[in-house]
Amino acid sequence: MTGPAVYSAARPVDGPADVPVGGPAPARWRGEPLLESRAYLELARLLADPVWRGHGVPAGDGRTVLLLPGYLAGDNTLSLLARFLRRIGHRPAFAGIAFNSGCARSYAGRMADALRHQRARTGREVAIVGHSRGGHYAKALATEHPEDVSHVVCLGSGLESALDTFPVTRLTVATSRRLFAPSGSPRGELGCLTGECNCELARAYRRPYPGRPRLTSIYTRSDGMVRWQSCVADYATCVEVPGSHIGLAFNRHAYRAVAEALATRPTRDIADQEERS
């Protein structure tokens, strides 16, 4: 994969020199949570935009798309995205996450089962779209099960650090850690809900990303919750859209970018064609 390829919502542009790839958050970064108040406006703009009705975006090919919600969110927060994907010709599916707050290990089994079930049911590779923390899961699942995944699309997800976030978000994570992985407990010993968590899913997230499946990272420079630079990596196709972090779940520009990402040929198909030629 080439990268970082950075796009605006309307047209592709060359990756600018001022885009740092990954790296630690600067000490002065405090987040901009007030920017997140725009999310409701983004929802209104989506419902009034032709993209919501499937106009001007590539049609789906019937592929199953597994949707994974963000931190402190559930499957229902991606219900509009599911309706959009169904409308353009995909088959959205969920893993059954009601409230994404605890240790990632709690959800690893059900997400892997959902992936395997959809793969067996259709006989086709599954695409995965994850919002925020759901994007961390998507990257980890694709790393563990590359043969079952065709595309990965992350919405506002740090690709190298899961905790490159607004300080209040990190405080919330610390509170969850005290509740779900207290010191001395088995989860506490694993380092759950820390950057050094040693559970299978966290280790997969930190491993080098394989050459396939195709990974697209959709991000916004006005993200008030996640440092946007952490969403840019040289092994991903990186797509910049305007908007907020929360609003990426119902942002008209993000929906267009998701549809375009899912319409690209899986890297496995390209490699197979090159081998035959």
| Residue 240 · residue 8 · CB < 8 Å | yes
pTM greater than the 0.85 cutoff: no
225 or 163: whose pLDDT is higher?
Answer: 225
CA 275 – CA 198 distance, rounded (Å): 37
pLDDT in tens, 138-192: 999 999 999 999 999 999 999 998 888 877 666 666 666 666 666 777 666 566 6
Write down the pLDDT at residue 102: 72
Q: Which two tokens stand for residue 161?
A: 């650090």
Q: Which residue has the tokens 């929360």?
A: 246
Write down the pLDDT at residue 199: 81
44 or 182: whose pLDDT is higher?
Answer: 44
Mean pLDDT of 221-238: 94
Phi, psi of 151 (to 5 degrees): -140, 150
CA 238 – CA 92 distance, rounded (Å): 23
Provide the pLDDT confidence category of residue 104 given band limits of 50, 70 and 90.
confident
Q: Can you name the CATH fold of 5-276?
A: Rossmann fold (3.40.50)
Which residues, at least 6 apart from 120, have a Cβ–Cβ distance to it below 8 Å?
none
Write down the pLDDT at residue 176: 63
11 or 142: whose pLDDT is higher?
Answer: 142
**Residue of 260, 218, 240 whose CA lies nearest to 57:** 260
Write down the pLDDT at residue 162: 87
| Residue 161 · residue 230 · CB < 8 Å | yes
pLDDT in tens, 69-83: 998 899 999 999 999
Beta bridge partners of 5: 237
Q: Which two tokens stand for residue 234?
A: 């040289």
Q: Which residue has the tokens 């997140």?
A: 36
String of DSSP letters for 140-198: HHHHH-GGGEEEEEEES--SS-TT-B-HHHHHHHHHHHHHHS-TTSHHHHHTTTSTT--
Q: Are β-strands 126-131 and 149-155 bridged in parallel, bridged antiparallel, or unpaired? A: parallel
Phi, psi of 26 (to 5 degrees): -65, 145
| Residue 62 · residue 90 · CB < 8 Å | yes
Write down the pLDDT at residue 84: 98
For the chain, the structural domain boundaries read 5-276
Mean pLDDT of 198-221: 91
